[in-house]
C-alpha cells in the first residue's frame, strides 16, 4: 500500500489534500440544502505559511448553493471559526483518532487547556457543522497527511 504524501500543516499542499478529501466526500451528496462556511485561523504561523498580515494563516471550507470551495486564507463570513496558536495546534493536527481513544482523550485535554490559556477559541454556530455529516472523517484524513 502506497503512503500518501505528507504536507506541512496549513501549507498549499496540505490545503490541496483537504480540498481533494472534501470534494471526494461531497461528490455523491445532494448539496442543495447544505450551507457551511467553516474556517480555521492560526496565529504565530511560520512566515512562509502566512496568508494574512502578522504571520496569520488559515484555511476554509465553503459549501453553498451546491458549490464546494476549499482554500487557503481566512474566511470573513464563516459560520464557525476556530482560532488557535499554530504551535499549539500542529501536534493536535497530527493525531489520528479512529481506533485510538487515548489520542482522542489527550486531544480533548489539550484543547481544554489551550482554550483556558487563551491559545485557542471556537466561535460561531456549531449547528452549521451538522449540515455536513459526510465530512466527519476530515480530521483523521488530514492527520494522516500532516507532516
Q: How far is CA 28 from the centre of its chain?
A: 21
Task: Extract the C-alpha cell encoding 134.
Answer: 459526510
Distance (Å, whole) CA 27 – CA 101: 30
β-strand partners of 81: 39, 123
Mean pLDDT of 96-113: 94
Can you tell me whether residue 73 is helix, strand or coil? coil
What's the fold here for domain 12-143? Nonspecific Lipid-transfer Protein; Chain A (3.30.1050)
| pLDDT bucket at 83, cuts 50 / 70 / 90 | very high
pLDDT more than 90, % of the chain: 91
Q: Are 43 and 10 within 8 A, CB to CB?
A: no
pLDDT one-digit tens code per residue, 36-78: 999 999 999 999 999 999 999 999 999 999 999 999 999 999 9
Q: What pLDDT does residue 130 have?
A: 86
pLDDT at 1 over 60: no
pLDDT at 113 over 70: yes
End-to-end CA distance of the chain: 19
Amino acid at each position: 500500500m502506497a503512503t500518501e504524501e505528507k504536507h506541512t500543516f496549513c501549507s498549499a499542499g496540505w490545503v490541496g489534500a483537504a480540498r481533494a478529501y472534501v470534494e471526494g466526500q461531497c461528490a455523491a451528496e445532494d448539496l442543495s440544502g447544505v450551507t457551511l462556511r467553516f474556517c480555521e485561523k492560526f496565529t504565530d504561523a511560520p512566515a512562509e505559511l502566512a496568508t494574512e498580515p502578522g504571520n496569520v494563516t488559515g484555511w476554509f471550507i465553503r459549501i453553498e448553493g451546491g458549490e464546494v470551495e476549499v482554500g487557503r486564507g481566512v474566511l470573513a463570513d464563516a459560520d464557525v471559526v476556530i482560532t488557535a496558536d499554530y504551535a499549539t495546534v500542529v501536534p493536535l493536527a497530527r493525531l489520528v483518532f479512529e481506533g485510538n481513544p487515548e489520542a482522542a482523550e489527550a486531544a480533548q485535554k489539550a484543547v481544554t487547556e489551550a482554550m483556558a490559556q487563551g491559545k485557542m477559541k471556537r466561535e460561531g454556530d456549531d449547528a452549521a457543522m451538522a449540515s455536513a455529516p459526510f465530512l466527519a472523517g476530515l480530521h483523521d484524513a488530514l492527520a494522516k497527511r500532516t507532516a
